[in-house]
Amino acid sequence: MPRDDPIFRQERIELDFKDVGLHGSVPSLGRLHTGRVHLPHDFVPPKPERMHEGIIEVHYLARGSQTWQVAGKEYRTRGGDLFVVLPGEEHGIGGHTQERQFTYWIRLRVNPKASGGKFLNFPKKIVKPMLDKLSGLRPDSRVFKASSQLQRLFDEVILAEAHTEAAMKPFAVSMGLLELVAEIVRCIEGVQTKRRTGDVAAILKYIDEHIEETDLLTNEELASQANLSRSRFQVKFRQQIGMSPAEYVLHRKIKQAEKLLATGRHTVTDVAMRLGFSSSQYFSTVFKKYTNKHPRDYLP
């Protein structure tokens, strides 16, 4: 694909597809490639819509990292992540700095009635399974790994909209968007399949991805992610890992604490609170148990 196309020299690209009659299905698609840090007061990622009735928003972070706020809760995303905002949810970066990043987003109207009963000009009965999969995503599963194909598919839609001759543009853009959305759905299905099988390896990855979100790391939530009962999950986890889920989570929190402290950007109390410990004293006790050192020893 011609990645040296002049259109990709723009820091920000945003399409609304009104000229090809697809705005009802896809209100917008965009690409942002920043080479500098933007502070919250001078940058806001794609123009916010206060109401997202019937619209799901998907962000693909190709490189960099970003912290999002959805309904008062924070989600940290890193390169290779997909992040989903469900219909009706207010979101933004809050008071966080917008870091250097390479990111894409797409907004999809998941209620075909709003666009004449069609999605990307395809009848509802053809696209319904795909839309059901998108609209059925749970809030606690909104961050997951993307496939290696997504960046290419996003860029191909942008190129089709920019360069296809007028007569063929509606068809070319529709097909590009359909392939892109289908790949997003395949990513969702891949994650859900791993969780349905009770794959402990997938749960280990989930724990690392959400290590600073204590409410997502309870035995109940981890068992739900593995699609197992709590008792069956705990037995299976101990059999494969050699320790209980709670012990493993604590172990990974201490590993994360070592990394955070070593940066020099966080105090011991900051790290304790960030990782969900009830107090800095308890954090120090647990930290010393696992490392035989005091947290202060890791500060540069």
Total domains in the chain come to 2
Residue 1 domain-assigned?
Answer: no
Alpha-carbon distance of 12 to 77, in angstroms, equals 20
- CATH number where 142 lies: 2.60.120.280
Q: For residues 142 and 22, give the distance between their C-alpha atoms in angstroms, rounded to a whole number.
A: 25
At 95 the pLDDT is: 55
71 and 192 part of one domain:
yes
Whether 57 and 153 map to the same domain: the answer is yes
Residues 55 and 182 in one domain: yes
The domain in which residue 237 lies consists of: 200-298
Domain boundary, last residue among 173, 196, 219: 196
Q: What local confidence, expressed as pLDDT, does residue 65 receive? A: 82
Residue 78 shares a structural domain with residue 17 = yes
Tell me which of 165, 196, 227 is where a domain ends: 196
- The residues near 183 (Cβ < 8 Å, ≥ 6 apart) are 147, 149, 150, 153
Dist CA 270 CA 260 (whole Å): 10
Q: Note whether residue 171 is domain-resident.
A: yes
Cα(127)–Cα(109) distance, integer angstroms: 12
Residues 251 and 147 in one domain: no
Evaluate whether residue 215 is within a structural domain.
Answer: yes
User: Could you identify the residue written with the tokens 């280990």?
Assistant: 204
Q: Is residue 40 part of a domain?
A: yes
177 and 275 fall within a common domain: no
State the pLDDT confidence band at 41, using cuts at 50, 70 and 90.
very low
Give pLDDT, residue 48: 45
Do 189 and 212 lie in one domain? The reply is no
168/208 same-domain check: no
Instruction: Tell me the pLDDT tens digit for each residue of 115-167.
Output: 566 888 888 778 888 888 887 777 767 888 888 899 999 999 999 999 999 99
* 180 and 205 belong to one structural domain: no
This model's pTM is above 0.75: no
Where are the strands (E) in the chain, listed by range?
A: 12-15, 28-33, 55-70, 73-78, 81-85, 91-92, 101-109, 118-119, 122-123, 143-145
CA distance 188 to 192: 6
Spatial CB neighbours of 197, under 8 Å, sequence gap ≥ 6:
227
Single-letter amino acid, residue 300 = P
- Residue 255 maps to which CATH number? 1.10.10.60
